[in-house]
Structure 1
Amino acid sequence: MRKYFITGLLVLVPLAITAWVLNIIISTLDQSLLIVPEAWQPHTLFGRDIPGVGAVLTIAIVFLTGLLTNNLVGGYIVRLGERLLKRVPVVSSLYGSVKQVSDTLFSSSGNAFRTPVLIPYPHADSYTIAFLTGVPGGDVKNHLVGDYVSVYVPTTPNPTSGFFLMMERSKVVELDMTVDAALKYIVSMGVVAPDEATTK
């Protein structure tokens, strides 16, 4: 009896969590329907709400924004809008910070979160997986003696929160694994171990 119950849990729990996460994502993306006139919204046209219509609209808006930005006129409009935003006192600092982080994370030429590493944390006798994010800059590097790198240590099982550390490069070991494999290892709390790599 216990064996069948556990087997059922192993099948249903991942499905339930996946459905729950997808529901949250689709519900959030459906908020884009608020910009659509009332007469064109699904509950007006069909008499009921249709989940996912807002998600499709959001994806279309993102795609069209990227398409327009990549041509000459669209790029000029984006740059003009950014210049206007930078003149607004509070908005300028907030927008600038968010844009810098997003450009770093999503740029195809960037190296952020593309290298899993092994570091001693939280003390010298224990280790965890982190992601290389760059090198210390600004006045910070003037106060660090030696060769340092910046790393992000995600928490388990929620990798969206974590810690930003600056560590000596000699203490950071680059891992021969993909970012996806490292994230699975972290989220699963070590249960889903990555495939063994050739020892360097």
Structure 2
Amino acid sequence: MVLIEFPTPEMRAVGIVTRIFPATEDREELAAVYVATTPNPTSGFVEIVPTSRLVWLDWTKNDAIAFIVSGGAMAPDNIRLKNTRNSFDPFK
């Protein structure tokens, strides 16, 4: 789970990284991030974001879905950040 700058650079939205596109000689590493809408997480937006702009959260999928469906009312006590993404696995 990540935070991305959405819908403006001053705001953050919870997103789910679904794919990482490796860097090339002329492009930095990119991520496909699904930003679900509240209260129906089956609709939302797919954003392509440089991985350097992602803030990685230490949330489970259940934490993120509960947060989204409840409009933020159900959330972990803290927004815990990870230092790095380590190895990316979209199914963890």
The reply to whether TM is greater than 0.5 is yes
Once the two structures are TM-superposed, the CA of residue 120 in structure 1 deviates from its matched residue by: 0.6
Counterpart code for 2:69: V
What CA deviation, in whole Å up to 9, does each residue of 1:2-35 have, x standing for no partner?
xxxxxxxxxxxxxxxxxxxxxxxxxxxxxxxxxx
- Describe the shift of the 1:160–1:125 C-alpha distance in structure 2 as closer, same or farther (beyond 3 A): same
What CA deviation, in whole Å up to 9, does each residue of 1:24-66 have, x standing for no partner?
xxxxxxxxxxxxxxxxxxxxxxxxxxxxxxxxxxxxxxxxxxx
Confirm whether residue 174 of structure 1 aligns to residue 56 of structure 2: yes
Asked if the contact 2:56/2:81 (under 8 Å) is kept, the reply is no
Give the corresponding residue for 2:18.
133
Deviating above 6 A after TM superposition, structure 1's stretches of 4 or more consecutive aligned residues are none
- Describe the shift of the 1:197–1:191 C-alpha distance in structure 2 as closer, same or farther (beyond 3 A): closer
Counterpart code for 2:11: S
Which consecutive residues of structure 1, in runs of 5 or more, have no partner in the other structure? 1-115
Task: Work out the number of aligned pairs and report it.
Answer: 81
Counterparts of 1:184 and 1:199, CA distance in 2? 18
**Normalised TM-score (structure 2):** 0.76
Confirm whether residue 189 of structure 1 aligns to residue 71 of structure 2: yes
Flag the structure with more relative contact order, 1 or 2, with Cα contacts below 8 A and sequence separation at least 6.
2
Give the corresponding residue for 1:159.
41
Give the corresponding residue for 2:89.
none
The structure whose residues are more often strand, as a share, is 2
**Normalised TM-score (structure 1):** 0.37
The structure whose residues are more often helix, as a share, is 1
Once the two structures are TM-superposed, the CA of residue 147 in structure 1 deviates from its matched residue by: 1.5
Percent sequence identity is 38
Confirm whether residue 119 of structure 1 aligns to residue 1 of structure 2: no
Counterparts of 2:12 and 2:79, CA distance in 1? 18
Which consecutive residues of structure 2, in runs of 5 or more, have no partner in the other structure? 83-92
Summarize the alignment of residues 1-200 of structure 1 with structure 2, pairs less than 5 Å apart: 116-136=1-21, 145-196=27-78
CA RMSD between the two structures: 2.3
- Rg comparison, structure with higher value: 1
Once the two structures are TM-superposed, the CA of residue 173 in structure 1 deviates from its matched residue by: 1.1
